[in-house]
Amino acid sequence: MRGMRGQPCALALLYLGASSVWATSVALPPDLGQLARTSELVGVFLIQKQLPGPAFTTWVLASPEIILKGQVGDAVRIQLPGGSNGEVALAVAGFPRFTVGDRYLLFLGSLPEGFWQPAIAALGVFRAEKKTFVPVPEAQEVAVIQGEPSSFLRLYYQEELLAELKNAIVGLPYELDRAVAGEAPHQTGHCVRMTHNNGIPVRWFSFETGFSFSMAATTPGQTGLADGGVGAVQSGTAAWRNYSAAKLNLNYGGVQPRTLDCAQGNYRGQVWFNDPCNQIRDLSGCQGILAIGGSYYSLTPQTYDGQTWYPGFIGGSLGPFVVVNNGAECIGPTNFAEMMTHELGHTLFFGHHTDPQAVMYFSCCRGYGAQIYTTDKVCASVQYHTFLDVPYSHWAWSYIEGVEDAGVSSGCGGGNYCPESQITRAQMAVFLLKAKYGSSYAPPACTGVFTDVPCPSYWAAAWIEALAAEGITSGCGGGKYCPENPVTRAQMAVFLLKAKYGSSYVPPPCTGVFSDVPCPGHWAAAWIEALAAEGITSGCGGGQYCPQNPVTRAQMAVFLVRAFSLPRP
């Protein structure tokens, strides 16, 4: 869902370097013929000039060449959302970008003060190329909530299409298939990010370190819905926030009176119902633009996963927002909730994924309500993975997510997990007991068991003593525990199996599985082979186990997830 008409916030001038991405949701007429019947002005126009309009809009001056419907003089003025003052830009996905000197087939509706607007954003806008009309690329950026978009995404022969549209306009039978010249190419790849017009993608930064934003349902609520649309906002934010394998700190902000100042524009963190500032052309029989949403972003780039991004921006009145058109309740409460989930996905800067099963697919609503699906989750984990130093491509990503979801580890601080850092014996005590008993487990108070683990001043004293009380460890000798020593892979085999099966567990005799673990010469050979037999490890490669190597935090995640069957994404 992309694009929007309206008056962006005048306070944007105070935030130099800020831009925004908006999104448009539409309900389509059955085909181009019906669009021609419901539009006020239909024809082929030559783009003469583009000028910056007020409040981050763009004015397009076009001269008519062929008029199929409506009356117009020597020129029409088209107003599009989006523009720039030279320092601040408003990028609006889902509305067409015209090229001066090119000809376009347009279906237009009137706006105040003599301006016109494309009736369904970029859908229904075709550029003339030789003998065909080609849908503009931005047509694939519009989210279709209701209706079949194929009629609007085909190539048409010019003469044949104009003839069929003339028939449609006067009420005669028409056959658009006679004019079809082919299918427009579609974007490839599942995950699509919202981008600035220079191709640089946009994301929120600092989710990993605690940043969050909220979206509130406002009053008055949506006319025609029993709860005014409150439930859609609440369930839509929850659908994103509750996906635990990504940091999507989008919260529900409750219900509040809308902060309405039409001269300034949409207020951050609010969902406006019934289009109170008339930013969207009215629906015609539940056809047209249903909702718009998105957020601002700074044009000062930052780096994430080695790639350049523009960061999301909140300041003053600028920030994420959604506006729902008057009458959009016509799609019903279930689809309304699905539409809201889609629009809220755009406030997180997700584009339109190419998987038809995704809620962020450009054809949205299937009557499933507020849910996200497999591709939505994968793309969220790619763009907003839980830890800054564990991208989705990391070999242990799903295992690290598993221990994080289980509450075993929340990372090493600063939004990181430190996957290559070594596990100490103190950390291991905490990890083992939480993996075994759950994140809510709290050990008994310490009493002072080991001479090198002061009680109560040492941070893990209670955990270490609980581990010893269960017979999982007796320390490192001489009445000590050696809490800061790294845990070796050999020691880990013993710790894991005792934690899983109890202190009385005895592994089967070794047979000689790993070339660097002599059987019966190595003290932990039987434990290591038992660990391998259970599928918890396959060694370190090349037929070896590397028993003396220290265990890293990434490896520890794998051991714990496999040993205790912790769920992972």
Please write the tens of the pLDDT for every residue from 200-214: 888 999 999 999 999
pLDDT of residue 43: 97
Prediction pTM value: 0.78
pLDDT of residue 26: 74
- The answer to whether residues 372 and 344 touch, using CB atoms and an 8 Å cutoff, is no
- Rounded to whole angstroms, the Cα distance separating 500 from 488 reads 18
- Rounded to whole angstroms, the Cα distance separating 406 from 567 reads 8
pLDDT band, very low/low/confident/very high, at 188 (cuts 50, 70, 90): low
Cis peptide bond N-terminal to 8, omega within 30: no
- Which range, 73-87, 265-279, 341-355, 478-492, is most confident? 478-492
Is a pLDDT exceeding 80 seen at residue 28? yes
Please write the tens of the pLDDT for every residue from 352-367: 888 888 998 877 677 8
Mean pLDDT of the chain: 88
Least confident of 114-123, 167-176, 282-291: 282-291
Tokens 């949701």, located at residue = 25
3-state secondary structure of 383: helix
pLDDT band, very low/low/confident/very high, at 175 (cuts 50, 70, 90): very high
Higher pLDDT, 63 or 149: 63
- Rounded to whole angstroms, the Cα distance separating 270 from 267 reads 6
Token pair of 364 as six digits: 């949205």
Is a pLDDT exceeding 70 seen at residue 229? yes
336 exposure class (CB count in 10 Å sphere: 0-12, 13-18, 19+)? buried
Please write the tens of the pLDDT for every residue from 370-397: 999 999 999 999 999 999 999 998 999 9
Give the DSSP letter string of 171-238.
T----GGGGEEEEPP---SS--B-B-TTS-BEE---GGGT--EEEEEEES--TTSTTTTHHHHHHHHH
- Strands 321-324 and 270-272, by their bridges, are parallel
- The answer to whether residues 455 and 506 touch, using CB atoms and an 8 Å cutoff, is no
Q: Mind listing the domains of the chain with CATH numbers? A: 30-136+153-183 (2.40.50.120), 202-383 (3.40.390.10), 397-564 (no CATH)
Cis peptide bond N-terminal to 112, omega within 30: no
Higher pLDDT, 56 or 49: 49
pLDDT of residue 189: 61
